Structure 1
Amino acid sequence: MTEQSAPHISFPRVLVLGLCPGKPGEPPFRIVEIDGQVVGEATSITDVLETAAMHGITIHDLDDPEVVRWVGGGKFRWKLH
């Protein structure tokens, strides 16, 4: 009988939550968490990279689930549809 190994569940340090509409006249944003703590808002990929860098995290690959997790849309979701 072949045993299946348990799937690997990653716990990335950076978590980017779903898009929030923001206040009238302001762009939509996404909440950024690092190590389980809310650290700010991002309106672009650049904001995510800068926020991570301010906390000592260098992101080389935005698609690496070991480093960053995109919740409620991928890295290109920055506008309400």
Structure 2
Amino acid sequence: MTEGSTPHLSPARITVLGVQPADPPFRIVEVDGEFVGRATSMTDVLLIAAESGVLIHDLDDLEEVRWVGGGKFTWTPH
């Protein structure tokens, strides 16, 4: 078996955790594993990342953003 047969997944710098029930509901945003803010929308994720020095070019790129507990359109608790 060669090492080339195992896919390599690089971790995304931005992690958006699951929706937290609050008024309004929010998602925790981490950069490089550190808490950096609370987002209530996709725009908030982009702004929080930029304030932390990380520019997101594609919210669907798994190498840029890791969505936990729902994708970019999930902003209400289930």
TM-score, reference length from structure 1: 0.87
Counterpart in 1 of 2:67? 70
Unaligned runs of 5+ residues in structure 2 are: none
- 2:8 and 2:24 mapped to 1: Cα distance? 36
Give CA-to-partner distance per residue, 1:22-65, whole Å, 9 cap, x none.
2xxx1110000001101111000010000000011111100001
- 1:69 and 1:52 mapped to 2: Cα distance? 13
Contact 2:24-2:40 within 8 A present in 1 as well? yes
Q: Which runs of 4+ in 1 moved over 4 A?
A: none
Identity of aligned residues (%): 62
Aligned residue pairs: how many? 77
Larger C-alpha radius of gyration, 1 or 2?
A: 1
Counterpart in 1 of 2:52? 55
Counterpart in 2 of 1:10? 10
- Normalized per residue, the structure richer in helix is 2
Counterpart in 2 of 1:21? 21
TM-score, reference length from structure 2: 0.90
- 1:14 and 1:76 mapped to 2: Cα distance? 16
Look up the equivalent residue of 2:69 and give its one-letter code. Answer: G
CA RMSD in angstroms comes to 1.4
Unaligned runs of 5+ residues in structure 1 are: none
